[in-house]
Amino acid sequence: MLSRFSNPAKFDALARTVAPFAFAVFCLAGIFGSAAGLFFSPEDYQQGDSVRIMYVHVPAAWMALASYTFIAFMSLIAIVWRHSLADVAAQSAAMPGAVFTALALFTGAVWGKPTWGAWWVWDARLTSVLVLFFIYLGYIAIWRAVPEPARAARFARLFALVGFINIPIIKFSVEWWNSLHQPASILREGGPTIHPSMLTPLFAMIIAYSALFIWLTLVDMRAELAARRVDARRMRKPSRLVEAGVGEGGAVQ
């Protein structure tokens, strides 16, 4: 399956089909989830209307972890199987992942003020997510700072795999240390503890964020592949001129 779409032309054809569908899912699920979360879901008996930040914060936090997991997985594929598009996929997923992480931190602060009485506390979960944001920035910086793409890819792969250590730390930080965050309330034994009237719009927003991530990543991958094709043609053009006997001044030798 992976080798089937290692050909850029086949991948481009797939992306042209999937990207509009992903954008449509994002729009439909986002509209439904936002409307249901803002206007039809009930208030929380303790937090009141401030609980509605959950419909933005929780999907953003989930996608922050999922995006980096995707980056690490693509980096592993690039190292082990030398998949031609794995590095491109990992690189393209970095910016959406960083934005999701920043959104999770911002909405967490907005939610924390009325709930905890402070915009920020050095909670284990908050601190580890902040570290994840810096890891995203470091990963993006490697691709932009190293001019040689092959060398940048090698550094980025190793950095991504080392940074993945932070993902289980974020996931289990609530169980490992004293935390203001509550334990898992959706993926847990015995089923979710959230009422279906809140769970339905929350799942809709998670689907919307996931579709947005897919759409952004595919669009960026197509743009990156197009840029690489242009660079490859520019590199081939001088060599063709030399083969044809054209000198630097344009005269035929």
**Residue range 45-58, pLDDT digits in tens:** 677 788 889 999 99
- Other beta carbons less than 10 A from residue 190's beta carbon: 5
Tokens of 50: 């401030």
Confidence of residue 4 (pLDDT cuts 50, 70, 90): low
Q: Which one, of 57, 47, 35, lies nearest residue 206 by Cα?
A: 57
Alpha helices per DSSP H over 83-186? 86-116, 124-145, 149-163, 166-176
Q: Which one, of 26, 169, 148, lies nearest residue 87 by Cα?
A: 148
Q: Residue 35: beta bridge partners? A: none
Confidence of residue 253 (pLDDT cuts 50, 70, 90): very low
Q: Which domains does the chain have, with CATH numbers?
A: 18-179+197-243 (1.20.120)
Q: What's the farthest any 2 CA atoms get from each other in the chain?
A: 85
Task: Look at 4 and 91; give whichever has higher pLDDT.
Answer: 91
pTM for this predicted structure: 0.86
**Residue range 145-204, pLDDT digits in tens:** 998 989 999 999 999 999 999 999 998 887 777 666 666 666 555 556 677 888 999 999
**Residue range 8-48, pLDDT digits in tens:** 788 989 999 999 999 999 999 999 999 999 888 888 767 77
CB of 88 within 8 A of CB of 71?
A: no
CB of 192 within 8 A of CB of 185?
A: yes
